[in-house]
Amino acid sequence: MDCPSCAGKVTNSVERLDGIDDLNAQVTSGRLLVSYDEAATSESEIRDRVRAAGYEVVDERDDNDNAGTASAGEHSFSVPEMDCASCASKVENALESADGVSEIETQPTSGRVTVSTDSDTDTATVVAAIQSAGYDATPIDDGSKRMGDKQAVWKSRRAVGTAIGGVLVTVGMVLEFVLPALDPALGTVAGRTYELSHLLFIAAVVVAGTPIIRNGYYSARNRSLDIDFLMSAGILASVAAHHPFEGAMLAVLFSVAELLERFSMDRARDSLRELMDLSPETATVRREDGTEETMPADELEVGDVVVVRPGEKIPADGVVREGESAIDQSPITGESVPVDKTAGDEVFAGTIPESGYLEIDVESEADESTIARIVRIVEDAEREQTKREQFVDRFANVYTPIVVVLALTVAVAPPLVAGASWNTWFLRGLTLLVIACPCAFVISTPVSVVSGITSAARNGVLIKGGRHLEATGESNVLAVDKTGTLTQGDLSVTDVIPLEGATEEDVLRRAGAVERRSEHPIGQSIVGYAEEQGIAVDDRDVSAFEALTGKGVRADLDGETHYVGKPDLFDGLADLEHVHATTDGGINVAGATSPQGQQQRQCERENCLDVLEDVVPKLEAEGKTIVVVGTEDGPIGVIAVADQVRPEAAWAVSQLQDQGVRVVMLTGDNEGTARAIADEVGIDEFHAELLPEEKLEWIERLEREADGSEDGVTGGDGTGHVAMVGDGINDAPAMATATVGIAMGAAGTDTALETADVALMGDDLTRLPYLYELSGKANGVIRQNIWSSLAVKAVLAAGAPVGIVTVIHAVVIGDMGMSLGVTGNAMRLANVEPETPADPELESPARSADSAGSVSPTGSR
């Protein structure tokens, strides 16, 4: 059943049966889909009727070559020839008529189609539906290419046909306009004289216009009012109205435009292909007997040991088992400097050891590696439509039919009403018909989004969708977490102050024993420091452990309740205002003075001090976090923990502020530490001692302020956008509430990759100014593309009825020119590169110490 006539015979035969609800004969794939009432007819009767029409039935369930797997859910297909909005419209219309297909999403920029199907619909059904629109489709699975191979556009069959058509048109033009004496009349048909040049024009239509007319046929069959249908109608109408020159020019110029558009789209897709090609195709596996075997990388299993030599790509995520090397991680994190890796360090697929032999334990399968997840996220990013894309789609749905009606009116009304020339007004209506399809207008936004997102991915910034790219550039406030974001997140103990006769070792032993069960970074730093000092923290009987959110921890050591946490934790438990420093160990701060310079003495004993007045302010002023260790009887020691500021933090903050971004630090740390860090990096506004829910409240407040509706007063214009960057679980509620949530150091972190709107793959704050610059330029490019497309279409549409604009202008400028223009403009985003300070250590701008800060009533550890 390979033609419409065959299909007609089959359907006529089958529809005679009772209970036939629906018939869909798919000529392209040679398939017949039948919906029927099982109570009225049977499958065997349907088969008999097909055979009665003269055709044999091959059951797909028994034919492995044609069978598809029927399963409910979402399926993706590679449709490389679907490279414009017109193509996508045809595919959508074809899929809408396919049984079992519920949701359809076409992505012409990446050449992908994603559909949701029921359990009775297999992939072959979807492929056949796409083929019915005139496009080849390949299901995307773990073992297939997710995008078509790059094709040599100028060597394709269509390019050859277009070249031949161009030659025929050129020769015909010479005969008709330059050497008319050599252009003989060959005959008369229906009262019209056809010269040699006319036949050359018609031959050009046949050679160059056949693909257009074929696509136009599919458009008509799928009820798609797109550029292929309009161009086909224009070409055929021109030839029928004895205007073969215009028809030939339309066919050749539009074919050239299509080839150029495909070439431009292929350039846009190259950036996606580069990401997909990062992972190697093969891997060298070391077996238990010591032998090495080369195998496809996608067949690696968790637990395999792979061998990687200098210059080879690491084939899978894993942990270094043996060896050491400097590894180029720029494909994942965007880091320009190779990172040293030794045994026990994590490595990523697609990265390249520059020196040294490595043996790596594979910890994830190929389709679950970090680079594979990045590729999937970048591919799916096109599915998130920006506000401008939604506007463009709505506008195009109204614009096209209006201009088509206007074109028909221009072609017909003047001759009928005023007796004007049919030839003149036919050509003017034809010109408007060509202008009617807003191809360049429709692709202006998605091609810019894909260009921006893939450019960011190559530089270690993963943007989950076009709307996040758009929103980041529009956000004028950036909320920044402190620990792990502005600072390195690597806490270390700096001071240990024993009290009331305890020793430094005793303080660390008790604090370490309690904190050993805590997962908080401060607790882990205390445990690590104690172990470095050779202090055993696991020789005490620990019970009744409890984490006190925002304050610290509590546990029983050998039956006695101990507390480790912020000074606020001891409110109502112990008197921190009157304690005595131990003189035989630790730091003696008995000589501490008050801010007024007066000696602090509260009793007759020596080394009497007030922890809250003498110790805490001094250490917090140095940017340290204070932890008090004690029991219900009183404190036994104070531990200070500090986190180093990232060397590039001040430079990044300065760059953001230069771009007009208001940077606000939100932290759960104390006010003294927050103020010290804010001063060091140049942040003028901070809010300290915030619980996770209070960070969320501050995000909402900042959004109201940015929107012009502070304190909940309505009247904001909806333009307030706040981005939030953080690294910890405590930041998740605030990041989710913010317009854009940005995760630090997401490489290898499943949660950050899945939940953040934007992920900075490395712990590199220099990517924040780059992200804002890229987003701002992307928004500018999108606006330029949209409004220039609209302006050009408007000018052309205004000039067509008065004869200023011809068919050639409409194709060369309105279609070919603008499609190339918006694509080329979008490609400029690939040139945006991250800036880095020449010497981050010297880039801290001098800031005043009078930063504005505020403290919430409650604290967060």
- Compute CA distances 170 → 255, 260, 430, 808, whole Å: 15, 20, 22, 14
Nearest C-alpha neighbor of 460 from the set 379, 351, 595:
351
* Helix (H) / strand (E) containing 792: helix 767-799
Task: Tell me whether residue 275 is exposed, middle or buried, using C-beta atoms within 10 angstroms of its C-beta: 0 to 12, 13 to 18, 19 or more.
Answer: buried
Instruction: Number of helices (H) and strands (E) in the chain: give both, helices first.
Output: 25, 33
Q: Is 557 helix (H, G, I), strand (E, B) or coil?
A: strand
Measured CA to CA, the distance from residue 783 to residue 473 in angstroms comes to 13
Q: Provide the pairing of β-strand 461-463 with 740-743.
A: unpaired
CB 638 within 8 A of CB 752: no
Measured CA to CA, the distance from residue 511 to residue 493 in angstroms comes to 12
Instruction: State the residue for tokens 């204070």.
Output: 626
Measured CA to CA, the distance from residue 761 to residue 336 in angstroms comes to 13
**Facing residues of 194 across strands?**
187
Measured CA to CA, the distance from residue 821 to residue 330 in angstroms comes to 31
CB 426 within 8 A of CB 241: yes
CB 398 within 8 A of CB 470: no
CB 650 within 8 A of CB 843: yes
Rounded-to-10 torsion of CA 740, 743, 748, 754: -30
Measured CA to CA, the distance from residue 493 to residue 526 in angstroms comes to 6
Which pair of tokens denotes residue 260?
């150029």
Q: Provide the pairing of β-strand 740-743 with 758-760.
A: parallel
The distance of Cα 132 from the centroid of its chain, to the nearest Å, equals 31
Measured CA to CA, the distance from residue 414 to residue 473 in angstroms comes to 50
CB 460 within 8 A of CB 332: yes
Which pair of tokens denotes residue 846?
């001098």
Measured CA to CA, the distance from residue 246 to residue 216 in angstroms comes to 18
Nearest C-alpha neighbor of 638 from the set 688, 689, 563:
563
Residue length of the chain: 861
Q: Is 496 left (phi over 0), alpha (psi -120 to 50) or beta?
A: beta
Nearest C-alpha neighbor of 257 from the set 344, 333, 176, 153:
153
- Compute CA distances 269 → 88, 193, 274, 438, 449, whole Å: 16, 49, 9, 21, 12
CB 753 within 8 A of CB 759: yes
- Sign of the Cα torsion 99, 102, 107, 113 reads negative
> One of 83, 481, 763, 815 is an active-site residue; which one?
481
Measured CA to CA, the distance from residue 290 to residue 768 in angstroms comes to 46
CB 453 within 8 A of CB 830: no
Q: Is 289 helix (H, G, I), strand (E, B) or coil?
A: coil
- Compute CA distances 748 → 318, 374, 581, whole Å: 10, 11, 45
Measured CA to CA, the distance from residue 452 to residue 160 in angstroms comes to 33
Q: What count of other Cβ atoms lies within 10 Å of the Cβ of residue 20? A: 18
Q: Is 65 a catalytic residue?
A: no
Q: Which residues are catalytic?
A: 481
